[in-house]
Amino acid sequence: MMKKANLRAAETDGAWIEINLNNLKHNVKTLKSAMPQGCDLMAVVKANAYGHGALQISECINRMGVKAFAVASIDEGIELRRHGITGEILILGFTSPAQTRELHKYKLTQTLIDYDYAAALNGQGYNIKAHVKIDTGMHRLGFESTDTEAIAKAFALRHIEISGIYTHLCVSDSLAAQDIDFTHTQIRRFYSSLDGLKERGIKIPKTHIQSSYGFLNYPELNCDYIRAGVALYGILSSPMNATKLRLDLRPVLSLKSKIILIRQVKCGESVGYGRSFITEKNSRIAIISIGFADGFPRNLSCNNSAVLIGGQRAPVVGKICMDYLAVDITDIDNVCAGDIATLIGKDGNDELCAAAVAENANSITSELLSRMGGRLKIAAKN
């Protein structure tokens, strides 16, 4: 039977996410104090703030004085505005020119990804704010860095007020020599574009280059914004990522669920789909209410991951199902139905880091967290 005392609001059905707002605030302060003077934090809250809950995260740090946010899409931007988030909200991605009126109405700042796009937005006749994106080598979105003529033409568009200009680095997380070289090339291309614009008499607006790793590995750059995602949430992309600047950033998110049933499984019996796990002795198996539909990847099945119960590690056995997974608790004492299982985060003296879980799933932290399922409740703790 369930232990009644453990049934608190957000914890009642299935799995949930716990957000530690103190750690979030700590990360904002830590990042800001490491940034050059005059540089501001732009909080990247796309994809529901990497699974953390965009509204709760944005409200908390907006109240602390963070005045710039970045989202992926216009819908994400509108949601923040409707809930009273103030300051600049930059859409990093593409918005259909058919939605220019909404860009204007919600005072969202649109990224200009090339000249034809800028002209199409301008042609709608609504005054909007924008940042120019320059492609310095990633070859995804942005004006060709050498095409200062096109960029200058965008500055001249009547209905578009350009308040920022930026680029994105594609190997700034790596400290391998050739990657550092490439990053320096990107940075050089960016500043030579700016020089070209200055020669054409254009006043350079706010500049930004670095995302989290760009900042942690190239802290000496002197821009107006740092666009921080993973660093804000206190996580690394992968467990072994060394960075030049080492900051005391603390994880904001924990992923938890509960044991709903404990069963005895005799030696030689199997657990789960495909019978991939066969017990080698009489075993105690705990069934936990979380599955791949909650964003816990199925390739963490079969001893490729563990959960913490009462500060002890219990390996995941058999295949992870859509809504449940099984762990082996044969060697762990004092485990009861209703106990909390931590899948990401701390329990007692042990911790499962998001980066390590992501790596076991052959992925990176941002993918793991941004795919956390819609049915997880998010509970904020101070």
Ligand X SMILES: *Cc1c(COP(=O)(O)O)cnc(C)c1O
Which residue from 45, 61, 92, 112 is in contact with ligand X, where contact means CB under 6 A?
A: 92
Could you say which residues in the range 259-298 bind ligand X, by CB under 6 A? none
Q: Which amino acid is at 155?
A: F
What count of other Cβ atoms lies within 10 Å of the Cβ of residue 1? Answer: 6
Cα Rg of the chain (Å, integer): 24
358 binds ligand X (CB under 6 A): no
Helices (H), 9-164: 21-34, 46-50, 54-63, 74-82, 100-105, 115-122, 148-155
46 is catalytic: yes
273 is catalytic: yes
Specify the stretch interacting with ligand X by CB under 6 A; choose among 33-41, 209-217, 267-275, 303-311.
Answer: 209-217
Helices (H), the chain: 21-34, 46-50, 54-63, 74-82, 100-105, 115-122, 148-155, 177-199, 212-217, 354-360, 365-370
Could you say which residues in the range 43-62 bind ligand X, by CB under 6 A? 44, 46
230 binds ligand X (CB under 6 A): yes
Q: How many Å apart are CA 31 and CA 73, to the nearest integer? A: 25
Which residue from 52, 129, 131, 227 is in contact with ligand X, where contact means CB under 6 A?
A: 227
Helix axes 54-63, 21-34, angle to 10 degrees: 60
Q: Which amino acid is at 187?
A: I
- Find the catalytic residue in 3, 29, 273, 381: 273
Closest approach of ligand X to the CB of residue 93, in Å: 8
Closest approach of ligand X to the CB of residue 145, in Å: 15
27 binds ligand X (CB under 6 A): no
Pairing of strands 325-328, 340-347: unpaired
When the beta carbons of 352 and 369 are compared against ligand X, the nearer one is 369
**Which residues, 6+ apart, have CB-to-CB distance to 209 below 8 Å?**
166, 167, 168, 169, 186, 187, 190, 218, 221, 223
What residue number has its CB nearest to ligand X? 229
**C-alpha closest to that of 55 among 381, 380, 367, 374:** 380
257 binds ligand X (CB under 6 A): no
256 binds ligand X (CB under 6 A): no
Closest approach of ligand X to the CB of residue 34, in Å: 14
Could you say which residues in the range 313-352 bind ligand X, by CB under 6 A? none
Which residue from 54, 228, 335, 380 is in contact with ligand X, where contact means CB under 6 A?
A: 228
Tokens standing for residue 347: 């329990």
212 binds ligand X (CB under 6 A): yes
- Find the catalytic residue in 32, 46, 233, 381: 46
Burial label for 224, CB within 10 Å (0-12, 13-18, 19+), is: buried
Mark 141-180 with x for binding to ligand X (rule: CB under 6 A) and - for no binding: ---------------------------x------------
When the beta carbons of 207 and 211 are compared against ligand X, the nearer one is 211
What is the set of active-site residues? 46, 273
Q: Which residues bind ligand X (CB under 6 A)?
A: 44, 46, 92, 168, 211-213, 227-231, 366
